[in-house]
Chains A and B, each alone.
Chain A
Amino acid sequence: MSAAETTTAKVPPQRRSPSPDSGTRGPGKKGKKGKKGVSTSAAVPWALLAPCLLVLALVLGYPLYRLVRLSFEKFGQSQLWGFQPTKSVGFDNFSTVLGDSEFWHVVVRTIVFALSAVVLTMVLGMLIALLLQRVSGWVKTLINIALVASWGMPIIVAVTIFKWMFDSQYGVFNYVLSKIPGVDFNGHNWFASGTQGLAVIMILVVWGAVPFVVITINAGLTQVPKELEEAARLDGAGGWGVFRHVTLPILKPILVMLATLSVIWDMGVFPQVFVMRNGHPEAEFQLLTTYSYEKAFVVNDYSQGSAIALITVLLLLGVVAVYMRQMLKIGDVE
C-alpha cells in the first residue's frame, strides 16, 4: 500500500557533514561570532521551510486534529449532512469500542498477522541477501530482476495476480498442489476460512515486502569489512559464528530500521484485504484498518471509526519511538 511506500526512502547521508554551523556562514563572515550572526540567518531557513510546513499543517496537522476531536464526538450520517450539530461525548466512543469483544478479536488478529508477516519478511529477506553473496553473477542478476519486478509491482496489481493464482477453480496454486501425489486441492477455496485467507494475504504481503529488505540488507552486507570476517575465521569461528558475532552486530541498525518499517507497513495493510475480499471483508478477515473503515463508511459511525484509527496510531507509536531513535542516529541530525 502506498502508506507503506511512503516511508521507504529514509536516506541517510553518505558522510557526516563537518559541523552544522560551517554552512551557514559565508567565508566573509567567518570571523563574526555570537548570537547576532545566527539570528539573522535564522530567517532564511524558516522562509524556506514555510511552504512545506504550511502544506503539512493543512493536509496532515488539521486532519490529525480532526481525528482526535472526532473520536470524542458523536458524528454520523446526520452530522455529516449538517442535520444535527456534533456534540462532545467524552470517552463514550472509546468505551464502546474497548467494551466490544469483536474489537479485541480484531486487535489480536492484527498483531498476530503483522508480527508473523514481519518475522517472515525479515528471515526470508536475510536468507536471500546472504544467498546473493554466494551465487554466481548471472544467478544474482536473475534474482535481482525478479526482486525489482515484484518490488515495483503496484500493490493493486499484485493483489489481483494473487487473487487469480489462488482462484478456487482455475487457480494455478491448487493445480500445482494437487500434482503432489496424495494431495487433492482441486476446487479448494482458500478464502472460505479467515485463517487460510489471511495466510494467502500474508504470502502476498511478504512477497511484496521481501525485495526492499533483501536489497537494503545486501547493501549493508557490502559494508561489512572483510578483514573483520577473516579475523573471526582465524580465531576459529565457523560460518554461523561469523554471522552471529560479526555480521549481525554490524547490520543491527539496518535490521532495526527494516523491522520497524515492516511493523508499520504490515499493521497498515488495507487494500490487500479490501480488494482480495471484493470490498466486503468478512468478520474473520477484519484487521484494525479494515475494521475502522467498516465502522466509519459502512456503518456510518465516523466517530467510532476515528476512535479505532486513533488506537491504531497509538499502538504504532511505541514502535515508532524505537525507530525514531535509530533514524536520529543514522540521519546525522545534529
Chain B
Amino acid sequence: MTTTTAAPAAAKLKAPRRRKSKLGWNVIGILVFVVVGFPVYWMLNTAFKPAKDAIDPNPHFFPRTFTLANFDRALNISDFWGPIGRSAIVSLSVVAIGLVVGLLAALAISRFAFRGRKIVIVGILAVQMVPLVAMIIPVFLLLNDLGQYDQLTGLIITYLTFILPFTVWTLRGFIVNIPKELEEAAMVDGCTKTGAFIRVVFPLLAPGMVATSVYGFIQAWNEYLYALMLLSQQKQTATVWLSTFTTQHGTEYAPMMAGSTMMAVPVVILFLLVQRKMAAGLTAGAVKG
C-alpha cells in the first residue's frame, strides 16, 4: 500500500460521498453473492429437507423442518463407503506418485541449466492441453491390452496424465520462489548441493508441496470420465456413485443432494484451506513477468 501524506486529508474530505457511493456497489455485491452462492445453498437446503418437501411445486426457500433422513438414505441407497474408499485410495496414490516423480522433475527444470530444458518445459506445458476426452479411446485400449481394465492400478496410472504435468509445473513455481542465495550460503558453510537442498530448500518448500498435494488430490477425487469408463459398476468411485440416485423410475433429488453435500463439503473445506496459497502462486509475477 502506498499512502501519500495528503491521502488521509483527502479521504476525510471525500468520506461521506464515498460511503454513499459504496452503498450502491454493496447492493450489487450482495446480489452477486446471492446469485453465485445460490446453487450451493439450494443443495444444502434440499439435503436437510424432508424428501416430500423437496418435491413440492412451491419450494420453500427456508427450511421449516430439519431432517437427516436424506443422509441416511444416501448412505444406504447402495454401498457408500466402498466408492469413497476407492476414491481415496486412487487419489492418495496418484498424489504420492505425482509428488515424488514431479518434485524431481521440477527440481531439474528449476535449478539446473541444461541443453533441452526449454523443450522439456514446452513439452510439459503442451501435454496439459490435450483434452482428457480425446485420450479416452486409446487409454481404454492400452489398459485393455495391459490387463489393467477395471483395476484401480490402471486408473491410478491414467490419472497421472493430468496430475503429473500439473504437479511439476506448480512445484517448479514454488521452487523458483526460493532464493538460490540461501542454498549457496549453505554450500559456503560446507553443505553439499544435496545437503543444502534437504536442509534449506525442502523445509521452505513444504507449504507449497502441501498445497500442490491437496490441489492434486481434489482433481483426482473429482475426476469422472475415466472413472466411469475404466471401472465396472462394482468398482465405481465416488463421482460415479452419485448417479445411483437416478433410476428408470426417476431421480431421488433430496437424498441425491445429501449425497452431493457429503461429497462436496470436505472438498470445499480442503479447497478453502489451500486456495489462497494456490491463487497467490498462480498469479504472482504474471503481470510483472
| Residues of chain A at the chain B interface (Cβ within 8 Å) | 1-3, 5-18, 20-24, 26-27, 38, 41-42, 44-46, 48-49, 51-53, 55-56, 58-60, 62-64, 66-67, 70, 80, 128, 131-132, 134-136, 139-140, 142-143, 145-158, 160-165, 167, 169-170, 172, 175, 186, 207, 210-211, 215-216, 219-220, 223-224, 226-227, 250-251, 253-254, 257, 264, 267-268, 270-271, 274-275, 278-279, 289, 292-293, 296-297, 302, 305-306, 309-310, 312-313, 316-317, 320, 323-324, 327-334
Does B129 sit within 8 A of A, measured CB to CB? Answer: yes
Q: Which listed residue (A63, A170, A278, A320) contacts B129, Cβ 8 A?
A: A320
Contacts of A9 in B (CB 8 A): 166, 169-170, 173, 212, 215, 278, 281-282
Residue B88 interfacial (CB < 8 Å): no
Contact B121 A157 (CB under 8 A): no
> Could you give 28 example pairs across A and B, Cβ below 8 Å?
A2-B162, A3-B132, A6-B132, A6-B166, A9-B173, A9-B215, A12-B283, A12-B286, A12-B289, A16-B289, A46-B114, A70-B141, A139-B33, A147-B36, A149-B268, A152-B264, A154-B264, A160-B242, A161-B40, A161-B42, A216-B283, A219-B280, A257-B286, A264-B131, A324-B126, A332-B285, A333-B121, A334-B118
Q: How large is the interface on B (under 10, 10 to 19, 20 to 34, 35 or more residues)?
A: 35 or more
Quick one: closest B residue to A49, CB to CB? B108
Let me know if B128 is at the binding interface, CB within 8 A: yes
* Distance in Å: Cβ of B133 to nearest Cβ of chain A: 4
Q: Are A216 and B30 in contact (CB under 8 A)?
A: no
Asked whether any CB of chain A lies closer than 8 Å to the CB of B231, the reply is no
Which of A42, A131, A175 lies in contact with B25, CB distance below 8 A?
A: A131
Contact code string B246-289 (vs A, CB < 8 Å = 1, else 0): 10000101001100100110011011100100111111111111
Measured CA separation A104–B108 after assembly (Å): 45
**With A55-B101, A63-B138, A320-B126 in contact, do A12 and B279 touch (Cβ < 8 Å)?**
no
Q: Are B29 and A142 in contact (CB under 8 A)?
A: yes
CB-CB under 8 A from B54, the residues of chain A are: 170
Q: Which of A24, A41, A48, A293 contacts B107 (CB 8 A)?
A: A48
Does B152 belong to the interface (CB within 8 Å)? no
- With A21-B113, A149-B40, A152-B218 as known contacts, state yes or no: A67 contacts B138, CB within 8 Å: yes
A151–B97 Cα gap in the complex (Å)?
26
CA distance A320 to B134 in the complex (A): 15
Contacts of B129 in A (CB 8 A): 7, 264, 316-317, 320, 323
* Residue numbers in A under 8 Å from B37 (CB-CB): 145-146, 149-150
Contact B289 A332 (CB under 8 A): yes
Say yes or no: A6 contacts B165, CB within 8 Å. Answer: yes
Can you name the residue of chain A whose Cβ is closest to the Cβ of B36?
A: A146
> Considering only CB atoms, which chain A residue lies closest to B28 in the complex?
A131
Q: How far is the CA of A216 from the CA of B224 in the complex (A)?
A: 26
A-B interface pairs (CB < 8 A), number: 395
Given the complex, which residues of A lie within 8 Å of B144, measured CB to CB? 80
In the complex, what residue of chain A is closest to B116 when comparing beta carbons? A46
For residue A134, which residue of chain B has the nearest CB?
B25
A289 partner residues in chain B, CB cutoff 8 A? 131, 133-134
- Decide: A270 and B111 in contact? CB cutoff 8 A: no
Complex-state Cα separation, A2 to B160, whole angstroms: 12
- Residues of chain A within 8 A (CB-CB) of B43 are 157, 161, 164
B130 touches A23 (CB 8 A): no
Contact residue among B39, B138, B168, B174 (Cβ-Cβ distance under 8 Å from A165): B39
* B219 contacts the other chain (CB 8 A): yes
CA distance A183 to B160 in the complex (A): 50
A66 touches B142 (CB 8 A): yes
Given the known inter-chain contacts A2-B224, A6-B128, A9-B278, please indicate yes or no for A220 contacting B286, CB distance below 8 A.
Answer: yes
Known: A45-B117, A59-B158, A268-B131. A8 touches B108 (CB 8 A): no
Known: A13-B173, A17-B176, A170-B253. 12 other contacts (CB 8 A): A1-B224, A5-B218, A48-B104, A48-B107, A55-B164, A136-B22, A150-B37, A161-B42, A163-B251, A207-B36, A313-B131, A333-B121
Q: A9-B215, A66-B142, A270-B133 are in contact. Are A170 and B57 (CB under 8 A)?
A: yes
Which B-chain residue is minimally distant from A66 (CB atoms)?
B138
Residues of A within 8 A of B122 (CB): 324, 328, 333
Question: In the complex, A139 Cα to B180 Cα: how many Å?
Answer: 41
